[in-house]
Structures are given as C-alpha cells and as structure tokens.
Amino acid sequence: MAIAYKKQIDDDTEFAVWKIEEQADDLYNQLQLNEQEKAYVEQLSHGKRNLHWLGTRVLLRKMLNTDEYIDCQVDEHGKPYLVDLPYHISLSHSFDYAAVMISKKRPVGIDIEQIKEKVERIAHKFMRPAEMAFINDQHKIQQLYVCWCAKEAVYKCYGQKEVSFADNISLKPFNFDKQGNVSATLNKGAVSLDYRVDYLQYEDYMIGYVKG
C-alpha cells in the first residue's frame, strides 16, 4: 500500500488516497484492534469489503502518524469519529483505492468513485432536472460523477441521516474540468447550509472533498 495522492488543503486539513495492493492479512497486521473490531473484521466477507475497511484504517493510522491504538467509532448516523484524538475524519473507498480526510477544526467529507458509464442510468435518482440541464454532453459521465461525489461529500460532512441527494442537496451550475469546485446547498427543514466542494479526477476515479 502506498500513497497515490496527497493534498494539504489548509494548515489543519488534508486528505490522502492510497492504492490497496496488500492482502487482507498484511493490512490486518498493521493495525491495533480491540476485540469488538476483531469480531467485526471476522464477519466481513474476504473480498473488497474487507480490504476497504482495513485499508481506510491503515491509511488513517499513517496520516495520524501514530503507533498507538486509534479508537475509531461510528455514531448513530453512521459517521466515523475519533474518541481520543482531536480530529474530524471522513473515510471513503472504491475498488482499489482508500481515501481519508482529516481536520483539527472543521467537519469534513470525502468521496472517491471509479468512473463508469452506468452512472448515467441512475442519474435521475440523485440529480434534479435543473442540475441535469447544466451537464455538458462532452464530459457527461465525468460531470455526473462530480455531482455524485459532491453530494456524497456534503452528506458525510453534514453527518445526519435521512438526507435525499435529489431533494435536499442542490448544486449550482459549473463547467467540468479535471480539477475544480462546485457550490452546494443543503436544505432540510430549518437547516440551510452552503458548501464549496472541491473535486479532482485522479486516473479513472473522481474525488470530491469538502470541509464544513
């Protein structure tokens, strides 16, 4: 496993993407796990799901640069957090890659997705008609993935359940480039939050990341 890409966003916020090349046992041996975590790993199927869970935890350990046990829990909304360390975190994975974003001061969200044509078939599930109207045919697939990753990153940063990508998260029009940003708004009940989501294409993957 090696760092494929790393970006320092500001003084206390960064993310990294790692390519998972080890076997599950190799990743497992790099971690300190409590009995509950060991039991959870045992329940995972011995495939990508197992590698993804282990890979994100190994990358988190590398980014925090510690040999001590990292107590990483998940709250009632499914958002991961660190019990004893002063960092906000967000985890993501897709096929051969794991991604981790950390910040000392602000909630964060990151999403990585392998770019595939099938996104066009499900676009209606997460896009509004007004958003579909600004999609450029020349870069349709990549731009749809920017939209998906942006909404996923906002959802993770917000950290609450029952958020509809189509109904509660809206994106302003933007032109696709290999690296850029998009303005997003989350509206749910009395909550109205504006975000700037940055994105970049890395090989055949799209990465969206945001801080609150």
For 101-168, give the secondary structure using H, E and C. Answer: EEECCCCEEEEEEECCCCHHHHHHHHCCHHHHCCCCHHHHHHHHHHHHHHHHHHHHHHCCCCCCHHHH
What mean pLDDT do residues 99-109 have? 97
> What pLDDT, on the 0 to 100 scale, is given for residue 198?
98
Which three-class secondary structure state does DSSP give residue 16? strand
Is residue 45's pLDDT more than 80? no
> Do 84 and 159 share a structural domain?
no
Structural domain ending residue among the three candidates 63, 89, 105: 105
How many domains does the chain divide into? Answer: 2
Q: The domain that contains 18 carries what CATH number?
A: 3.90.470.20
Is residue 130's pLDDT more than 90? yes
The reported pTM is: 0.96
CA distance linking residue 101 with residue 15, whole number of Å: 4
CA distance linking residue 113 with residue 65, whole number of Å: 26
What mean pLDDT do residues 129-153 have? 98
> Do 163 and 98 share a structural domain?
no
> Do 99 and 16 share a structural domain?
yes
> What pLDDT, on the 0 to 100 scale, is given for residue 47?
81
What mean pLDDT do residues 122-146 have? 98
Whole-number average pLDDT of the chain? 96
Q: For 19-39, how does the pLDDT look when each residue is reduced to its tens digit (9 = 90+)?
A: 999 999 999 999 999 999 999
> What pLDDT, on the 0 to 100 scale, is given for residue 16?
98
Domain of residue 194 covers 112-211
In 3-state terms the chain splits into helix, strand, coil percentages (rounded to 5) of 35, 35, 30
> Do 129 and 158 share a structural domain?
yes
